[in-house]
Amino acid sequence: MSSTRAFDKVFTKIDELKPEFIGMLSKAIAIPAVSSDESLRPRVVEKAHFLADHLKKLGFADIQLKELGTQPPPVSDPNLQLPPIVLARYGNDPAKKNVLVYGHYDVQPAKLEDGWDSEPFELVVDEKKQVLRARGSSDDTGPLTGWLHVVQAHQAAGVELPVNLITCFEGMEESGSLGLEELIGAEKDKYFKGVDAVCISDNYWLGTRKPVLTYGLRGCNYYQVTIEGPGADLHSGMFGGIIAEPMIDLVQVMSTLVDSQGKILIEGVDAMVAKETEKEQELYKTIDFSVEELNAASGSETALYTKKEDILKHRWRYPSLSIHGVEGAFYSQGAKTVIPAKVIGKFSIRTVPDIDSEKLTQIVVDHCHAAFKKLNSPNRCKAELIHDGNYWVSDPFNAQFQAAAKATKDVYGVEPDYTREGGSIPITLTFEEQLKTSVLLLPMGRGDDGAHSINEKLDISNFVNGMKLMAAYLHYYAESPEK
């Protein structure tokens, strides 16, 4: 039987089992695995056990929940344990290629009062819009469970999985993948020995119409600036105007980082960026994207650029600085006249070739301290790196990518666009370097899924076709003469 007819049977089973797969996704999403919230750490661990139980039911073997130890500072609880890495195997045929699939089971924070149309941890199946709406639907619980559904669909179809599958599911991706890099290094000649390829489904189409294969990612350095002075929060009626207020100092410092047009104001950052080549310039011309799609994804007409090439370059190959929030300041409804004693400003820089993370951190810290010094404030200031993840660029013409391109043509009827992405998956480069193998980014969701925003969604068609894409990719890659 040809592989095409084999995975056609799998396709049929994916269609038939869609309600069951959505039901399992609903159960997974109901666990609020927010890794950045220390109070929810037990729920993150609960989700790891939920996945391990499901892997066992599917017949995976050698299932291990790898403990990673204590989470390093800054943390409120010095004994806070990192959530485990879920490792498992399906098949051990020495004649087959070994494919490691990576996903993360933790999610971004989400509350109904943030502006969601429904409870964020209750999956809504919107039949009218044909979408699945919930936190984690697209990032990354939907794609992660998709790999498990692919195995189940093969079993239901009576079709042998064409590769040996290894899972590596982590619970700290949204908080810097703490502990995973060390685990990969420790297991490269043990659990991960013999891995031929790594496939990650934790990114998105560029737009909403055309599937893509992603061969590059920006990195992400996350920083915080802490300014503190008074011994406790104070009443502005009693102390306003006579003490140095940390919040005022913080606003002044943060205003020196970036302007309203997105230009990074920290001297030395732009100088590290790799120069654009003519070959790279040609890639942008044929990609299907428009400013209208950008506006639709953002829900506004606030784009800083109007040309496709400018939008894509500033998303992919130029760094950006985003200010995310302030810890310690009053943010609820009402009119509380408090002077915060200590405030912490959060911001990140998306990095690109050839920015060196260590050098970047040094100039960022020096810049913040210099900006604070100019204020002549008696308060105290400390700028520091919270976590970093390097950028990654791969070869879009290797065996993995070509297998995925064939699979895309089978499932969607079109050739994929080859894209880079502005987001970060810090561990991608670690897999590539430690395991000495190639990494493929095979997206399930669309560019308008709102992964870190309110009303995150995954189109039902992308959920179903994404699983078919995963299945076909495994078959085509199994047939390829190269690794």
Is 387 marked as binding a ligand? Answer: no
Catalytic residue among 37, 67, 77, 106: 106
Site of tokens 């943390």? 75
173 is catalytic: yes
Is 126 marked as binding a ligand? Answer: no
Q: Which of 457, 456, 454 is nearest to 111 (CA)?
A: 454
Q: Which long-range contacts (CB under 8 A, 24 or more apart) does 406-414 make?
A: 406/472, 406/476, 407/469, 407/471, 407/472, 407/473, 407/475, 407/476, 408/211, 408/213, 408/469, 410/4, 410/472, 411/211, 411/465, 411/468, 411/469, 411/472, 412/211, 412/465, 412/469, 414/210, 414/211
Is 337 marked as binding a ligand? Answer: yes
Is 174 marked as binding a ligand? Answer: yes
Interior CA angle at 115 toward 28 and 340, to 5°?
105
Q: Which of 424, 407, 457 is nearest to 7 (CA)?
A: 407
Is 235 marked as binding a ligand? Answer: yes
119 is catalytic: no
Beta bridge partners of residue 389, listed in sequence order? 220
Structure tokens at 327: 């810890």
Non-local CB neighbours of 316 within 8 Å, separated by 6+ positions: 216, 218, 352, 419, 420, 421, 422
* Strand segments (E) across 137-243: 164-170, 197-200, 212-217, 219-228, 234-235
Non-local CB neighbours of 153 within 8 Å, separated by 6+ positions: 10, 13, 14, 17, 467, 471
Q: Which of 209, 225, 233, 298 is nearest to 266 (CA)?
A: 225
- CB burial of 248-279 (b: ≥16 within 10 Å; e: otherwise) equals ebbeebbeebbeeeeebebeebeebeeeeeee
Report the SS3 class of residue 440.
Answer: strand
Is 310 marked as binding a ligand? Answer: no
Catalytic residue among 140, 170, 173, 245: 173
Secondary structure, 3-state, 467-480: HHHHHHHHHHHHHC
Is 139 marked as binding a ligand? Answer: yes
Beta bridge partners of residue 441, listed in sequence order? 200, 214
Q: Count of CB atoms within 10 A of residue 128's CB? A: 5
Which residues are annotated as part of the binding site?
104, 139, 174, 202, 235, 337, 350, 424, 452
Which residues are annotated as part of the binding site for substrate?
202, 235, 337, 350, 424, 452
Which residues are annotated as part of the binding site for Mn(2+)?
104, 139, 174, 202, 452
Active site residues: 106, 173
